[in-house]
Amino acid sequence: MYDPLVHPFPDKSQPDPDSYWLKVSGAAAPDDDGPVAGDAEVDVAIIGGGYTGLSAALALARDHGIKATVLEARSSAWGCSGRNGSFARISGGRVPWSQLVKTYGPDVARAYFQELRQGLDTVRALIADGGIACDKQPDGVYKVATFGTHADALRREEALYNGVLGYPARYIGASGLRGIHEGSESHGALYLPDGFSLNPLELARGLHRMARDHGARIHTNSPVTRWISDGGANRLVTPTGTIRARRVIVATNGYTSSRLHPSLAARVLPVHSQIIVTAPMSAAQVEASLPSGKCMFDTRELLFYYRRLPDNRMLFGGRSAISGNDAAAPRHRQYLYDAMVRKFPALAGIDVEHWWGGWVAVSRNSLPYCYRVPGANDVFTAGGYAGSGVSFSIHLGTKLAMLAAGRPFETSATFLTREPERYPFASFIRLGQWMAYRWLHAKDAREARRAG
């Protein structure tokens, strides 16, 4: 499969994912502008047609009067945006709040929390404004204690949410989870009232339609294969024509090839996340696993995220593969299956009908970014959502549009607008990740032994 650390761009030979979302929504995508046809000159080009790129295109056209040109290697939302776990949450990056407060102080942490909340509001507003039929579910997110020993940490997190962040998160003891989250790893939870699941592909298709309705052009099957910076302009070479752009927004996130632009290389680690979706569960299986249809994730170091879909299937995701070469190995599917059955023994033997994965982007400080690329010709980029980008990518897409339109993105969450540091020893990056996974698995195993 396409691997950003190996391949120069996602080419035509890369298959579409075996995703549940493609099955329920159908392969028929909204109208687009086809591949680039010949050479052209544009004001703003956007590389990547996921949430970040599409929301930037929409905001540029709707709010700033700039009709941008999107260049997407495959089809709209072919990357993470069309194949994710479907949770829109107040979340971005993967730094625990306690660490964020310690590193940046409470004021910056609060400012970041507000940005994240605005991210969710941005998505709510877009769904309403665009009448996007993306099967949005009622709000409510549970962070569920995998082991009894994790309950105290959730209580501390509740205090931090309530005190420092001023947010009404609520700890629920194990008995309070009955009828919501059953099974053998149900030792209490932190409940966050905001956050919902939806059909992520339909959300992206809705953004695509809105952006085009406002005048953006969206070229599919138009990978940027070479980027030539000449004079004050950028020449973006695609197989069917070259786009000369005064300003460029890079919205390729976890799918950014190391070869796209020298200033962007090694700024994110592409991390593979995978999902299985089962056959529909029986009523008894639903009762013994997830009677609630809300968003769930657990407290393991290498966490799992899961939900019951409206047609009573279980969607269950997590991370295990390291490279694109390895991602299709059946042991990764089995890894998710075993974890699901360990959590919900009533699901033993259930069929898996879909299994797919994609690349999320993790920056060195594990936080998102949105900045003007120093030393480049009017280039702007955002990403690094680390598996929590459904709402924040859309939010930062609107901020990228502001930057490209010549307006500042003012935020007290100062780290957001800084260029992320490069990963050192880029050629050994995967070895480092493999070692980190071993260590995290060992920590989870130790915790399981401690909990008995």
Strand order, beta sheet including 314-318: 170-172, 189-192, 141-144, 295-298, 305-308, 314-318, 268-278, 352-363
Copy the structure tokens of residue 403. 């930057």
CA angle, residues 185, 187, 192, in degrees to nearest 5: 105
Between the two ends of the chain, the Cα-to-Cα distance in Å is 39
CB 388 within 8 A of CB 93: yes
Could you give the angle at which helices 106-130 and 97-104 cross, rounded to 10 degrees? 130
- Please report, as a single letter, which amino acid is at residue 229: S
Instruction: Report the residue number, 5 or 275, with the smaller CB distance to ligand FAD.
Output: 275
Tell me, what amino acid is at 400? Answer: L
162 by DSSP, 3-state: which?
helix
Where on the chain is the footprint of ligand FAD (CB under 6 A)? 9-10, 47-53, 71-74, 78-81, 83-87, 89, 223-224, 251-255, 257, 260, 273-275, 305, 317, 357-358, 360, 383, 385, 387-390, 393
What is the number of H-type helices and E-type strands within the chain? 10, 18
> Which residue in 153, 100, 437, 123 sits closest to 298, CA to CA?
153
Phi/psi for 63 (5° steps) reads: -100, -20
Kindly provide the b/e burial profile for residues 210-231, where b requires at least 16 CB atoms within 10 angstroms of the residue's own CB.
bbbebebbbbbbbbbbebebee
- Comparing CB distances to ligand FAD, the nearer of 346 and 367 is 367
Given a contact cutoff of 8 angstroms between Cβ atoms, the answer to whether 316 and 306 are in contact is yes
**Cα separation, 274 vs 387, whole angstroms:** 11
Residues 6+ apart with CB under 8 A from 129: 210
Nearer to ligand FAD, 48 or 346 (CB): 48
Is 189:127 a contact under the CB 8 Å cutoff?
no
